[in-house]
Amino acid sequence: MTWSIRLKLWGGILVVAALVFALTLLFNQRQSQVASVTASIDAPAATVGSSYGGVVTDLYVRQGEAVTAGDALFTLNSIQLQQDVGNGLKPVSTEAYTLDPASGTVTYKAVSNGYVASIDAEPGTFLANGTPMALVVADGERTVTAQFELEPTEYGRVEQGAGARIVLPNNQTVLGTVRGVEVNTSGQGDAITRVVIVSDALTDPSLAALTRLDTPVMVVMDLRDDGWLAGPTENMLAFLTKIGLR
């Protein structure tokens, strides 16, 4: 056997060994991740409602419209307000609504910057006392609530602070971190795990349309890697990230 043939043989063996090792690390990395069954965006929201109901006379915003704190949402004519004034009471306005005792009207307002997620007020409709009248979702922190179905051994590898990838409806991926974990056990013995993911990227104004309340997303969460390949796998992933392949 000539040296050239030997070199080709050993070269082929090394290539196959490197490929097998890389595929083993990739398989190990896949075993250390789990995809969500369901996941959606969560956001701070304020329900508009009061003890003063009545007939809507004016509507100033529509569902999905952006608002700032103090913007008028709608005005209604309240018999209850008129009765309170007639009985000698002196109801006062709040940051959520402005009362006009003289005309018996109530103007409801947004209490934070954000957008109108839902509104039940339409001119001529009656809104009862104490019922939700509108929902305003505030600007600010966005989180993701994701549900996973895990085997007991997988649940044991879930950690606070673990990394996660959030896949938005346009297939864009943003990085997040596990902040909260709750668990229940299914009838089959699986751990139904509810996880809260935080990510600063979700407040990016350019993603506002993709991070509204209840927007469906997908989450891939990292599990703690307890195997002997944990170190090499992390090194490989760090290298792929460094060269832009991950």
Q: pLDDT tens-digit profile of 86-141? A: 898 888 998 989 999 989 999 999 999 999 999 988 899 898 887 888 999 999 88
Helix axes of 230-242 and 3-31: crossing angle, nearest 10 degrees: 100
Please tell me what DSSP assigns to residue 216: B
Residues of the chain with CATH 2.40.30.170: 31-43+140-242
**How confident is the model at residue 133, as a pLDDT?**
86
Q: What is the pLDDT of residues 180-214, one digit of tens each?
A: 999 888 777 777 899 999 999 999 999 999 999 99
Which of 136, 94, 131 lies closest to 119, judged by CA?
136
**How confident is the model at residue 10, as a pLDDT?**
63
Buried-state track 204-236, b at ≥16 Cβ within 10 A, e below 16: eeebeebbbbebebbbbbbbebeeebeeebeeb
| Residue 28 predicted with pLDDT over 50 | no
**How confident is the model at residue 229, as a pLDDT?**
43
**How confident is the model at residue 18, as a pLDDT?**
55
| Residue 244 predicted with pLDDT over 60 | no
| Residue 3 predicted with pLDDT over 80 | no
CA distance 91 to 221: 52
**How confident is the model at residue 66, as a pLDDT?**
93
| Residue 39 predicted with pLDDT over 90 | yes
**How confident is the model at residue 41, as a pLDDT?**
97
Tokens of 27: 């398989």
| Residue 25 predicted with pLDDT over 60 | no
Tokens of 10: 């050993």
CA distance 217 to 144: 8
Q: What is the mean pLDDT of residues 163-185?
A: 93
CATH superfamily of 31-43+140-242: Efflux pump adaptor protein, beta barrel domain (2.40.30.170)
**How confident is the model at residue 27, as a pLDDT?**
44
Q: Identify the CATH number of the domain defined by range 50-131.
A: 2.40.50.100
Residues of the chain with CATH 2.40.50.100: 50-131
